[in-house]
Amino acid sequence: MASGIPNAMERPHFIGIGGAGMSGIAKILAQRGAKVAGSDAKESATADALRALGATVHIGHAAEHLADDASCVVVSSAIRADNPELARAAELGVPVVHRSDALAALMRTSRTIAVAGTHGKTTTTSMLAVALTELGLDPSYAIGGDLAGPGTNARHGDGDLFVAEADESDRSFQKYDPDVAIVLNVELDHHANYASMEEIYESFEAFVAKIPAGGTLVVGEHAGARELAARVSGRPDLTVVTVGEDEGADVRIRSITPHGMTSEVTVVLPDAAGEITFTVSVPGRHYAHNAAAALAAGVRLGLDPAGLAHALTAYTGVGRRLQLKGEAKGVQVIDSYAHHPTEMTADLEAMRAAAGDRRLLVVFQPHLFSRTQELGTEMGQALALADASVVLDIYPAREDPIPGVTSAMITDAAQAAGARVTAVHDKASVPDVVAGMAAPGDLVLTMGAGDVTDLGPRILARLSD
């Protein structure tokens, strides 16, 4: 491994280089001196950021985009087998490396924290990245979203710490062997890859099994996370640290006091560390829990608790996690990545508390046919927390349609739960629809994992007309 570049990754080619996970690895390799190239479906700010680091980014997928001297081709689980660049790699005999293997290789020489869980991974990883940077530790990090401060999802640092988001969706997190692993929660999701809750537990158990002797597992108070802790409790060389509001938690959250769009959190740490109070600069109990888990992980790596807690205050958010997009005519527009019912409920409850007497209007775009088929009813029920909602058609991402599965499953469930909900099939008309609904003082929340995020600026522009 020369200059921190893993063997065979000196001249990598990324198929889908603009994706959140792929672009992070590409950025780190470029910063370490690799000759990075790749392709993506369309132009984006991420493509421009990669070019600024010296990477070659092609738009569209074509066999000729793969250079003859490429040392490997990096792919994610979203890349289809008939991709022309993948076919060209086979012709040339260029090794194909999965994104998770590439990230595992980048982390191998560092002390690592890997953050896993059905929800909250990006936020918690981001909190750690910001706090460790604030402490002057110059960490490396790879995250599924752009930090509000640095404006990037990944960075190569000269320090010995590496913080990474560990994705369970395709079992790729089983490739990592972190010194400290955080598991925030364990729920049934990613229905195309997991047939049952038992399969989910088995996947998380395989992830935990990769923690080396003497390592630490930090678990949140979610029932699924605690069940996972019980399943691995027989391992004598693993320290399990529980975090939560329950009296028996090793790191106990004694209080969470909301203050508009922030919260004051008091945490009781074990041993002589005592009680620490700090500010979390995003609203909602779930974000306070994420911060407490980040604190617990850092302390296990030997960081000063008070210093780390103060540094966590510097976290001001990550793109698409209750991100304020702007205000027009007295209406604030906020963007949320929430797409699973648990995430939707948590963000809606947080915004409900922040809104006070103001109205909360939601523009929701379901993500994936398989997820909607399994959880559409619960999605609709979550929307009952809003004063009114607009529901778009399903964003397919990598999936083909499933007969009979449409966003009507969600609107029907929402109406049955007493919600005011409107189905809008033409995404381009949403700004006009919202402008007709919103009044000064309202909060508008665009929500979903697809391209609904594009609507925030358009809604603001329409409100300004």
- Domain assignment present for 168: yes
**Alpha carbons 291 and 61: distance in angstroms, whole number:** 40
Please give the residue range of the domain that contains residue 52.
12-98
**Alpha carbons 236 and 184: distance in angstroms, whole number:** 22
Do 205 and 300 sit in the same domain of this protein? yes
End of a domain among 71, 98, 125? Answer: 98
Cα Rg of the chain, angstroms: 22
* 446 in a labelled binding site: no
State the amino acid at position 459 in one-letter form.
I
* 122 in a labelled binding site: yes
Do 67 and 204 sit in the same domain of this protein? no
End of a domain among 98, 128, 144? Answer: 98
Q: Are the beta carbons of 31 and 59 closer than 8 angstroms?
A: no
In angstroms, the first-to-last Cα distance of the chain is 56
Beta-ladder partners of 14: 38, 74
Side-chain half-sphere of 312: how many Cα atoms within 13 Å?
A: 37
* 404 in a labelled binding site: no
* 93 in a labelled binding site: no
Query: What CATH number is given to the structural domain containing 270?
Result: 3.40.1190.10
Q: Which long-range contacts (CB under 8 A, 24 or more apart) does 201-206 make?
A: 201/227, 201/228, 201/231, 203/168, 203/171, 203/174, 204/116, 204/168, 204/228, 205/231, 205/232, 206/171, 206/174
* 119 in a labelled binding site: yes
Do 175 and 208 sit in the same domain of this protein? yes
Tens digit of pLDDT at every position of the chain (465 positions)? 444 687 789 999 999 999 888 999 999 999 999 999 999 999 998 999 999 999 999 999 999 999 999 999 999 988 989 999 999 999 999 999 999 999 999 999 899 999 999 888 988 999 999 999 999 999 999 997 666 555 578 999 999 999 999 989 889 899 999 999 999 999 988 777 888 999 999 999 999 999 999 999 999 999 999 999 999 999 999 999 999 999 999 999 999 998 877 899 999 998 767 899 999 988 889 999 999 999 999 999 999 999 999 999 999 877 677 888 999 999 999 999 899 898 899 899 989 888 888 999 999 999 999 999 999 999 999 999 999 999 999 999 889 999 999 999 999 999 999 999 999 999 999 999 999 999 999 999 999 999 999 999 999 999 998
Do 308 and 339 sit in the same domain of this protein? no
Measured in whole angstroms, how far is the alpha carbon of residue 289 from the centre of its chain?
15
Q: So which residues are the catalytic ones? A: 121-122, 165
Do 372 and 254 sit in the same domain of this protein? no
